[in-house]
Amino acid sequence: MVKRGIIIGRFQPPHRGHVEVFKQILREVDELIVVVGSAQESHTLENPFTAGERVLMISKALAEARVDLSRVHIIPIPDVNNNAIWVSHVTSLSPPFEIVYSGNPLVRRLFKEAGFETKTPPMFKRKEYWGTEIRDRMIRGKRWEELVPEAVLEVMREIKAVERLKDLSKTDYLLR
Ligand code: NAD
């Protein structure tokens, strides 16, 4: 039987820590499902990138890392306004899986209560490989480029990500 693991994140944006954790999970399972969560969100300071842009960034980053893409499924899933039914919402839209990997205690709790095996993956350089830090640096004109894979950087340039974030910061609330 094929053993599948799932990891769910907002990936705003995907960074080097995410790619490390994807590679690590792929050592433990046959196939990995990467769920691009909060798929309905985009163009805010907390969630600047569309689900489609995030899918593109993740698939290109995995290809760059020479991960066999036939072992990875990347699917966008929007949030639902009810935590108690969220797990069935996810399972209804995802390929079948057995193990849930998440550093997010709420995600682990919800899947555990639904009877899934849950695992906490290791964090890599969490202070820097952190979406909030990367978005903050982009807005403030600090160096952020080395925190994301080259392939993500290319997509960010293509979609003029810095310009978008700077514009959003003029109308949206401040990050910190
Ligand atoms: P995230 O993008 O912050 O992180 C995704 C995963 O990447 C985490 O599990 C974490 O373990 C890993 N990670 C982050 N930084 C890392 C690093 N430096 N090194 C290694 N690993 C690292 O996402 P999140 O906040 O956990 O996303 C959860 C998603 O699930 C969100 O989209 C949320 O809205 C959704 N959700 C929805 C509902 C609902 O709709 N009711 C309920 C719960 C969760």
- Separation of alpha carbons 105 and 57, rounded Å: 25
The structural domains of the chain, ordered by start, are 4-171 (3.40.50.620)
User: Cα 13 to the chain's mean position, in Å?
Assistant: 7
Please answer whether residues 149 and 67 qualify as being in contact, where contact means their C-beta atoms are separated by less than 8 angstroms.
Answer: no
> Which atom of ligand 1 is closest in space to residue 89's alpha carbon?
40
Q: In this structure, what are the phi and psi dihedrals at residue 155, rounded to the nearest 5 degrees?
A: -65, -40
**What's the average model confidence in pLDDT over 78-88?**
98
CA-proximal residue: ligand 1, atom 8 (nearest): 103
| pLDDT tens for each residue of 33-78 | 999 999 999 999 999 999 999 999 999 999 999 999 999 999 999 9
Q: Which residues does ligand 1 sit against, CB inside 6 Å?
A: 7-11, 17-18, 21, 37-38, 79-80, 83, 86, 102-104, 106-107, 121, 123-126, 129-131
CA-proximal residue: ligand 1, atom 11 (nearest): 103
What are the Cα distances from residue 134, in Å, to 12, 65, 84, 165?
Answer: 9, 20, 31, 11
What are the Cα distances from residue 171, in Å, to 45, 100, 136, 148, 164?
Answer: 9, 37, 15, 26, 11
| pLDDT tens for each residue of 96-145 | 999 999 999 999 999 999 999 999 999 998 889 999 999 999 999 999 99
| Nearest Cα residue to 87 out of 16, 8, 11 | 8
> Which atom of ligand 1 is closest in space to residue 110's alpha carbon?
43
CA-proximal residue: ligand 1, atom 43 (nearest): 107
